[in-house]
Homo-oligomer: A and B are copies of this chain.
Amino acid sequence: MEPLQLMVRMNLNAWDAQIKRASSFFNGLSDEELYQEIAPGKNRAIYLLGHLVAIHDGMLSLLGIGNRDYEQLDNAFVKSPDKAVEHLPEPKDLRAYWTNVNDILNRQFNSLLAEEWLHKHTAVSEADFEKEPHRNRLNVLISRTNHLAYHLGQLVLIKK
């Protein structure tokens, strides 16, 4: 494998590993447990599930690799803190969204060539990108992987 491909693959492996851990965690949580807070007065697991679906869905447009499916989740799970929005989607729906969005990302990720990961993401202008070439797709992947690890560290605190 070429060094560049290898580096992309390693970052993709890290993403996959976090997705696998999170999926296995959510699968092991009952619908009831999804409504538990990670710590007293903090976010509930269901909020973090919706939050992660919305943020991952947003990667499709941010990376310029697809259209968003779940933009309607942004209001309850990105723009608002937990418990600010009364009616949340059902656990079974959020679970299906989680699987679906990560499957779509996985397919798109694996269709990109190593060099294409260094293309600019859609939230940076051509002019800025010329000065800041690190504002590319791979950077989004790296930062979203850390975002997922961050929330996973919180989720495992839920008492099962």
Contact = CB atoms under 8 A, between A and B. Distances in A.
A42 interface: yes
B10 A134 contact: yes
A66 B67 CA distance: 47
A11 B13 CA distance: 14
A122 interface: no
Given A42-B157, A153-B154, A133 B7 contact: no
Interface residues of A, number: 35
Query: Copies per complex?
Result: 2
A118 B39 contact: no
B1 A4 contact: no
A75 to B, nearest CB: 23
Contacts of A105: none
Interface in A79-132: 115, 118
A21 B26 CA distance: 27
Nearest to A18: B146
Interface of A: 1, 3-4, 6-11, 13-14, 18, 38-40, 42, 115, 118, 133-134, 136, 138-139, 142-143, 145-147, 149-154, 157
